[in-house]
Amino acid sequence: MKSREKLTYISFFILGGILLLFIVLPLGRLIFAHSPAIILQELKDKTVLVPIWNSVFLSFVTAFIAIIFGVPLAFLMAKERFGKLEEAVETIVDLPLAVPHTVAGIALLFIFGRQGLLGAFFYNGFGFRITGTRIAVVLAMLFVSLPYIVNSARDGFKKVDISLEKASRSLGASLFSTFRYIYLPLSRDEILSGFLLTWARAISEFGAVIIVAYYPLTAPVKIYDAFTQYNLAVSSAIAAILLVICLSIFLTVRFLVRRKR
């Protein structure tokens, strides 16, 4: 009996271990595939550096915009202000998680493309084309990453005891002051981790971005671009750099979440 138990554990460990290796091995191999010297060399190349910068910076801008629009929405959801539409709103917020990213890109094209609802307005009115610009990159990133900040901030607001709001109000604070001085600071960790998750999601976005803005290249698009031109060296070097950046963000989130517990 005892040895049967052991056998079960051993076989489970082997199966699980294979899975873990399947994750760690390619990523580890990628990071260490290039010597730091080669990576530095690649970074000096503008055609490599600019896409990486585009990815890091534009995803950061995306996360920032996501906070500005997402946190108020999260607050309304946490306070159940949508009444009967509560569930509908939750579903809408989660939709981008369910939509394939290339599909999201095409859908965005219908709105922001040269002949799209808004795109036509800007193009015909001001001669300004949205697609193929940094704005388009941000729009694509925003669409796929918004759910993270909204859901995370909402959970944070929900955890704040309602009596603290009442106490704040009874002491003379308006609703906005209560939001500012009670809800925001008490949900700081959730909002911060929501911001980082949004950022990480945005930085890695490929499908939606490539459809609305092939150029200016972001790192994932550049990786694909180089790969299709049989330049695996450049492709993998950028990939390694992007991986390190994403891992840093991811590990920061993990650290924040663990500290809270």
Partner 1 sequence: MNSINDVLVLQNVNAKIGTFKIRDISFSVYDNEILVVLGENGAGKTKLLETIAGFLPVVSGRIGLFGDDIANKAANERNIGFIFQGLSLFPHLSVKENILYGARFQVIPDLDREFKKLVHLFKLDNFLDRFPKTLSGGEQQKVALARTLITNPKIVLLDEPTSALSPKERERVTIEIKNTLKKLNKSAIFVTHNVEEAHLVGDRIALMENGRILQIGTPNEIFYKPNSKTVATFFGETNIYDGVADAQDKGITAVKVDGLNIFALGKYKQGIKLKVFIRPEDILLKKRLTKTSARNNFKGVVKRISFKGPLARVFVDVGFTVAALITKQSLEELEINRGSSVYISFKITAVHTVEE
Which three-class secondary structure state does DSSP give residue 24?
Answer: helix
Question: For partner 1, which is the closer residue by CB, 148 or 183?
Answer: 183
Q: Choose which of 174, 229, 231, 248 interacts with partner 1 (CB under 8 A).
A: 174
Binding string, residues 129-168; x marks residues near partner 1 by CB under 8 A: --------------------------------x-xx-xxx
Question: For partner 1, which is the closer residue by CB, 86 or 161?
Answer: 161
Q: Which range in 4-12, 85-93, 117-125, 170-178 contacts partner 1 by CB under 8 A?
A: 170-178
Q: Judged by CB under 8 A, does residue 173 bind partner 1?
A: yes
Question: For partner 1, which is the closer residue by CB, 100 or 185?
Answer: 185
Q: Judged by CB under 8 A, does residue 177 bind partner 1?
A: yes
Q: Are 235 and 227 in contact (CB under 8 A)?
A: yes
Q: Judged by CB under 8 A, does residue 81 bind partner 1?
A: no
Long-range contacts of 77-81 (CB under 8 A, 24+ apart): 77/150, 77/154, 78/153, 78/154, 78/155, 78/156, 78/157, 78/158, 79/157
Least CB distance to partner 1 at residue 182 (A): 7
Q: Judged by CB under 8 A, does residue 172 bind partner 1?
A: yes
Which three-class secondary structure state does DSSP give residue 72?
Answer: helix
Least CB distance to partner 1 at residue 172 (A): 4
Q: Judged by CB under 8 A, does residue 186 bind partner 1?
A: yes
Count of residues that interact with partner 1, criterion CB under 8 A:
17
Side-chain-side CA neighbours of residue 225 (13 Å): 15
Question: For partner 1, which is the closer residue by CB, 109 or 182?
Answer: 182
Q: Are 221 and 214 in contact (CB under 8 A)?
A: yes
Sequence-distant (6+) residues with CB within 8 A of 146 are: 66, 69, 70, 93, 96, 198
Which three-class secondary structure state does DSSP give residue 223?
Answer: helix
**Identity of the amino acid at 37:** A
* Residues near partner 1, by CB under 8 A: 161, 163-164, 166-174, 177, 181-182, 185-186
